[in-house]
Amino acid sequence: MMSLIMYMLFMIPLVFMSNWILNQVSILFLLFYVLSLSFNNYFSVISYFMGLDSFSYSLITLSLLISSLMIISMSYMKNFCSFFFINFLLLMFLVLIFVCMNIMYMYISFEFVLIPLVMLIMGWGYQPERLMAGMYLFFYTIFVSLPLLMLIMYMYMSCGSMFFDYLKFESTFFLIHLILVIVFLVKLPMYFFHFWLPKAHVQAPVSGSMILAGLMLKIGGYGLIRVIYIYENLFIKYSYIWFSLSMVGSLLSAILCLVQGDMKCLIAYSSISHMGMVIMGISTLKIFGLLGSFLMMISHGFCSSGLFYIANLFYIRTSSRSFYINKGLMTYIPSGSMLLFLMCSFNMSCPPSINFISELMILISLLNFWFKSFIYFSFISFFCACFSYYLYSFSQHGISHSLYSCSSMSLLEFLCLYMHIIPLTGIPLMLLSLF
């Protein structure tokens, strides 16, 4: 694993070369190297307190693939070097989070992610409101992270180790459970802790939105999966709290999507709704719920990132993200209409996408946990379909603005969108072929 980290460190000089194709090739070489590594359900390829298992392997692959697509999305920028350096730092800390076997290393990388992300929002954001978005994100993270540091110190004094495999406790004290869980629920984010996400998404540039939706939200789910084995009794006793809150929150955020006037805001609230379903699946403590939540994190990484990218393509051409101005885009950018339709269909979990498989697995675990939860799940799925249809129909149909002229998409834009769509349909076909 140290070879992976050293490769990324020695890539830093390449970042300051103004050739984005060279950086793209370097990221892809790293992706192929990771794909060649062996992994299993337990940690493998162990070196220097870092290792891979099936969860971290998939999330690192997702991180590198989204990062390569992110380079394509910002290839037109003038100050490419400094912008890509910030994004590359973000990628490096994310990879460190996914490979750490030590909870203290994971915590340090978890906190360092905040620095490049705030720099990205404040330096390359759109409106003056980006300052408030950065402050929201900063204070949310600080307030929930400091108690976790104290808890990690307590764990070390109790167990004499910080490795995940040695941390086992039998406590039933709710405060410990709250401190351990809330830091990851804020990153997911769960409804009631979500106020930073729409602000950060709206003010961030397109690559910032892609890395936020595709990777940052996955830290919360990955952290929950990791710490669930530390205090198993606490999760068994108190998981109904997070199950109930996320179920209600997922429904409310799906309804909130229907009153949004900004395309980016709608996609951000849809992320909150889907991440609520991830929390529900993990809270059931069933194997189907865990695997369904994990598959939903992977599918959401591609789907939400692709939606943010295509929303930015419309913004570049029309200089607005408002539904009231973006009308009749089917006649303005006909080549983008089909791709947006596919993305919206996958966002509402239509087969044959990973979203459909993940929702099916989560539904099975919910029925085992509490049978009446299918009522809430049905409403959540219905409203997800409604806001996906709302996003497509309001932007593509209607009378276009008189200032519009016909516009086409470039080959790079097609490539980036197809590379979001192919994994969403290709992975289920691979899974079916295994069975």
Instruction: Check whether 27 has a pLDDT greater than 60.
Output: yes
Point out the least confidently predicted range of 228-242, 294-308, 400-414: 400-414
CB distance 430 to 354 below 8 Å = no
CB distance 279 to 228 below 8 Å = no
Could you tell me the CA-to-CA distances from 247 to 111, 174, 206 in Å, in that order? 28, 21, 29
pLDDT of residue 402: 57
How far is 123 from 177, CA to CA, in rounded Å? 36
How far is 116 from 122, CA to CA, in rounded Å? 10
| Domain with 233 in it | 2-434
pLDDT of residue 71: 84
How many domains is the chain built from? 1
pLDDT of residue 306: 92
pTM for the model stands at: 0.93
Highest mean pLDDT among 44-53, 126-135, 275-284: 275-284
Instruction: Check whether 378 has a pLDDT greater than 70.
Output: yes
pLDDT of residue 82: 83
How far is 292 from 41, CA to CA, in rounded Å? 16
Instruction: Check whether 87 has a pLDDT greater than 90.
Output: no
pLDDT of residue 257: 92
Coil, strand or helix at 163 = strand
Point out the least confidently predicted range of 89-93, 146-150, 214-218: 214-218
pLDDT of residue 358: 92
pLDDT of residue 266: 92
Point out the least confidently predicted range of 75-84, 121-130, 185-194: 75-84
Partnered with residue 47 across adjacent β-strands are 50
CB distance 355 to 303 below 8 Å = yes
Instruction: Check whether 307 has a pLDDT greater than 60.
Output: yes
Which run of H or of E encompasses 51? strand 50-52
Distance of alpha carbon 385 from the chain centroid:
20
**Which residues are CB-contacts of 121 (< 8 A; sequence separation ≥ 6)?**
130, 133, 134, 137, 200, 203, 204, 208
Instruction: Check whether 99 has a pLDDT greater than 60.
Output: yes
pLDDT of residue 250: 94
| Banded pLDDT at 281 (limits 50, 70, 90) | very high
Bridging pattern class, strands 44-47 and 50-52: antiparallel
pLDDT of residue 317: 83
Which run of H or of E encompasses 52? strand 50-52
Is the N-terminal amide bond of 189 cis, ω within 30° of 0?
yes
Instruction: Check whether 294 has a pLDDT greater than 80.
Output: yes
What is the 8-class DSSP label of residue 399? Answer: P
Could you tell me the CA-to-CA distances from 388 to 255, 302, 340, 351, 404 in Å, in that order? 12, 16, 10, 15, 24
Instruction: Check whether 433 has a pLDDT greater than 60.
Output: no
CB distance 45 to 1 below 8 Å = yes
Instruction: Check whether 18 has a pLDDT greater than 80.
Output: no
CB neighbourhood size of 407 (10 A): 16
| Banded pLDDT at 380 (limits 50, 70, 90) | very high
Instruction: Check whether 435 has a pLDDT greater than 70.
Output: no
Partnered with residue 52 across adjacent β-strands are 44
| Banded pLDDT at 341 (limits 50, 70, 90) | very high
> How large is the average pLDDT for residues 224-238?
87
Structure tokens at 60: 């690192």
| Banded pLDDT at 290 (limits 50, 70, 90) | very high
pLDDT of residue 308: 92
pLDDT for 131-190, tens place per residue? 888 888 888 888 888 899 999 998 888 888 888 888 877 777 888 889 989 999 998 888
- Looking up tokens 């954001």 gives 125
Point out the least confidently predicted range of 57-61, 364-368, 396-400: 396-400
pLDDT for 267-278, tens place per residue? 999 999 999 999
pLDDT of residue 211: 86
> How large is the average pLDDT for residues 25-31?
89
> How large is the average pLDDT for residues 36-45?
80
Instruction: Check whether 345 has a pLDDT greater than 80.
Output: yes
pLDDT of residue 128: 77
| Banded pLDDT at 408 (limits 50, 70, 90) | confident
CB distance 103 to 152 below 8 Å = yes
Which residue, among 207, 212, 324, has the nearest Cα to 263 in the 3D structure?
324
Coil, strand or helix at 372 = coil
| Banded pLDDT at 432 (limits 50, 70, 90) | low
CB distance 188 to 217 below 8 Å = yes
